[in-house]
Amino acid sequence: MENITNKFKITTDAKISLKDFDTKETLGYKKEDAAQILDELIEKTSELHSKLYADNRHGLLIIFQAMDAAGKDSAIKHTFSGLNPQGCQVYSFKQPSSEELDHDFLWRHYKALPERGRIGIHNRSHYENVLVTKVHPEYVLKENLPGISSADDLDEKFWKHRYDSIRDFEKHLTRNGITVIKFFLHVSKDEQKERFLARIDDEEKNWKFSAADIQERKHWKQYMEAYEEAIAETATEDAPWYILPADKKWFTRIAISTIIHETLKGLDMQYPVLPEEEKERLAEIKRMLLSED
């Protein structure tokens, strides 16, 4: 089998076309083996997560971006279910509030960063500011930026500056011990349609469906172009993108867990070593406990 991390990792600013990435790819993995593989990956990741927490020098920021119904929520649920919740922080970003709009577009995301020793999961992220705003430029006007009075003012230079800000932001994080990995769950338009229909047909899943999702589906081509540009502009060695096939949810979860495990494994982490005087103190306490009646 091909290496999952190498297969889907994007680290350069080369132009990409999402049409070149198969949304049904499984790299030879079988659905009947998925549950066991995922359980083993979560167990191994949990051990590294404990070391991350104890070492307290590194943090991990995991970004999830996707079209509606690509499976972000279920992927987060399944791939992080076995980890210590005290060491994880999950944020789901919705439309910015008036307070958030009064700050720069990175402000609310900076506030939600994980502490060292923890894993932060951002369900949608600062990338919405070069994705949904690219498709709906009128949203940028709510930021009340100087020199921007209409959508016509959002020229190539404006978007270049946004990409620059994102790259600088992520570079700053990596310099300060926060490793950044970014997942784009690449679902096909046909598969999204099937999942929408399933939500409509299942009363228990009706709450997941919104008429707004259909409106956004009409902009599919624009969103794909926005993702292609955003990924190409912000994929770096320090903060790579992973374009993951999302038509088979069971494989998407294996891919996510594999990449997280390998990322943590690559960090220089150690369990703290106590000073000699502390070790001697522990030995003394042990003797006292053993000598109790």
Domain ranges (residues) in the chain? 4-290
pLDDT mean over 73-102: 92
pLDDT digits 0-9 by tens, 114-144: 999 999 999 999 999 999 999 999 999 999 9
Determine which helix (DSSP H) or strand (DSSP E) holds 191, and give its type and residue range. helix 189-201
* pLDDT the model gives residue 13: 72
CA-angle at 243, arms to 185 and 230, nearest 5°: 95
Task: For residues 13 and 11, give the distance between their C-alpha atoms in angstroms, rounded to a whole number.
Answer: 7
Mean pLDDT, residues 170-181: 98
Predicted local distance difference test score (pLDDT) of residue 139: 96
Q: What is the mean predicted confidence (pLDDT) over 247-256?
A: 98
pLDDT of res. 202: 85
The residue with tokens 């970003």 is 93
Which CATH number is 4-290's, of 3.40.50.700, 3.40.50.300, 3.40.50.800, 3.90.650.10? 3.40.50.300
Task: Identify the bridge partners of residue 92 per DSSP, sorted by sequence position.
Answer: 123
Mean pLDDT of 49-61: 96
Confidence band (pLDDT; 50, 70, 90) for 275? Answer: confident
Task: List, for residues 229-238, the tens digit of each pLDDT value.
Answer: 999 999 999 9
What's the mean per-residue pLDDT of the chain? 94
pLDDT at residue 210, as a whole number: 80
Q: Does residue 97 surpass a pLDDT of 90?
A: yes
How far from 181 is each of 35, 219, 239, 267, CA to CA, in Å? 24, 26, 6, 13
Task: List Cβ neighbours of 3 (8 Å cut-off, separation of 6 or more).
Answer: none
Instruction: Please report, to the nearest 10 degrees, the dihedral formed by the alpha carbons of residues 199, 202, 208, 213 taken in order.
Output: 30
Answer yes or no: pTM beyond 0.85.
yes
| Distance, C-alpha 62 to centroid of its chain | 3
3-state SS assignment for residue 15: coil
pLDDT value at residue 274: 83
